[in-house]
Amino acid sequence: MKSTATLKDVARQAGCGIATVSRVLNGKGPVSAASRQRVLEAAQSLGFEFNETARALQSQRTRTIGCLVPSLINPVFADAVQALQAEVLAAGYHLILMCSDYDPAQEAEIIRMLIQKNVDALALTVSDAATSAGLMALRDRPLPHCLMFNAPAQGAASYFVNNASASARVAQAFDDEGHHRTGFLALRFHRSDRSRQRFEGYKKACRTRGMAEPLLLEVDQDQPDLGKQLSQMLRQRAQLSGIYASNDYLAIALIRAARALGWKIPQDLSVIGFDGIEVGQLMVPSLATIVTDPAAMGRQAGRHLLAALENQQHLGAENSVPPIGGLGFEFRPGESLGPVRSDMRSNSRAATPLLPLHHSKTALNASQEQ
């Protein structure tokens, strides 16, 4: 395990003290040219490499950043993690990666472990930022951290997309095509504050626009019979002309289920997704969706943490990067969204007691907000 030479070994071989060796190899402090030469040769011949563990113990900095996401199976998180990793690596930091499986209990435990491991900073996506116990434990600690995907909470900065604004944009898109009776399809509704925020934002936007209250459609997280669940759900909810899915995978599964019932997309049902994953553009029909930039979230979270570490190093505990109000997003039109069928339009109006009296068509384009 420890076949590597130590400073002491190099010092012995070079015929000097370990302090000198350290100075040479770190390039700091005064050393004579002769010493430098001998040390470098000795280090070379012994194949010396620093022991980062010892360095970390001495310097109190592990050059390691903890990263917690719910899962890597959702490409949104994978993209963010990859960008984060690349960003911090450039500054010499490594990433310790953990997945919580959307479980708040594991979340807290994992954060504890990462602290114990002496990470220099943390980038997190938690189930529910407002109530996260792990995040709370972090609040009083002088440990730089920030959130990804979650809306900012508990004093932590965050790199996220404003789910309410994005959902308002979805409502507009449906409204523009005449869809007023719509549903919101969610997979892990109670384990993801993002999903809940999307629904809340969507509900509010529908209300503002005078659309019917959207129906919340929850499915279990079992993969195998997802198609069956969706088919059954669709049969029961045939009066909906549009469905907003809480992510693109769900949207794609929904489209397939609808087609399996013989429905035509978008004639019989319009679908809008969320995330903007690549395959959405490749499939037929292409998927209308909200395009976000998860890599940007990871990258910016990385920059934030590096800046905080830098400041902590040189200045006081001053935090130079201000928390921001949400990253940009874009509505990407697609073949899965079309105009409402005339018979459904009248149907829905008739069946909508919730319709407010005036249709305030405020044309707010959410993507322009930031």
Q: Which residue has the tokens 């709370």?
A: 136
Does position 58 interact with DNA (CB under 7 A)? The reply is yes
92 CB burial (10 A radius; 0-12, 13-18, 19+): exposed
Residue 79 vs residues 227, 278, 311, 325: alpha-carbon distances, Å: 27, 12, 27, 21
CB of 175 to DNA, least distance (A): 59
Does position 8 interact with DNA (CB under 7 A)? The reply is yes
Does position 327 interact with DNA (CB under 7 A)? The reply is no
Written as one letter, the residue type at 212 is A
Structure tokens at 248: 């693109």
Number of Cβ within 10 Å of residue 74's Cβ equals 18
Candidates 41, 44, 45, 50; binder of DNA (CB under 7 A) is: 50
Question: Which of these, 174, 177, 195, lies nearest to 185 by C-alpha position?
Answer: 195
Does position 57 interact with DNA (CB under 7 A)? The reply is yes
Number of residues that bind DNA (CB under 7 A): 33
CB of 313 to DNA, least distance (A): 11
Cα 121 to Cα 308: distance, rounded to the nearest angstrom: 9
Name the binder of 16 from a second copy, DNA, none, CB < 5-8 A by kind. DNA
Structure tokens at 271: 């679908």
Name the binder of 20 from a second copy, DNA, none, CB < 5-8 A by kind. DNA
Written as one letter, the residue type at 274 is F
User: Under the rule (CB under 8 A), what is the footprint of a second copy?
Assistant: 1-3, 49-54, 56-57, 60-62, 64, 67, 71-73, 75, 78-79, 81-82, 85-86, 89, 94-99, 101, 112-113, 115-118, 141-143, 223, 249, 252-253, 255-256, 259, 278-279, 281-284
The C-alpha angle 97, 101, 104, rounded to 5 degrees, equals 100
The C-alpha angle 191, 197, 198, rounded to 5 degrees, equals 105
CB of 7 to DNA, least distance (A): 3
**Closest to DNA by CB, 2 or 358:** 2
Name the binder of 79 from DNA, a second copy, none, CB < 5-8 A by kind. a second copy
CB of 16 to DNA, least distance (A): 3
Name the binder of 255 from DNA, a second copy, none, CB < 5-8 A by kind. a second copy
Does position 20 interact with DNA (CB under 7 A)? The reply is yes
Do 146 and 313 meet the contact criterion of CB atoms below 8 Å apart? no
Cα 290 to Cα 311: distance, rounded to the nearest angstrom: 36
Does position 18 interact with DNA (CB under 7 A)? The reply is yes
SS3 call for 24: helix
CB of 24 to DNA, least distance (A): 8
Residues near DNA, by CB under 7 A: 2, 4, 6-8, 15-20, 22-23, 25-26, 28-35, 48-51, 54-55, 57-60
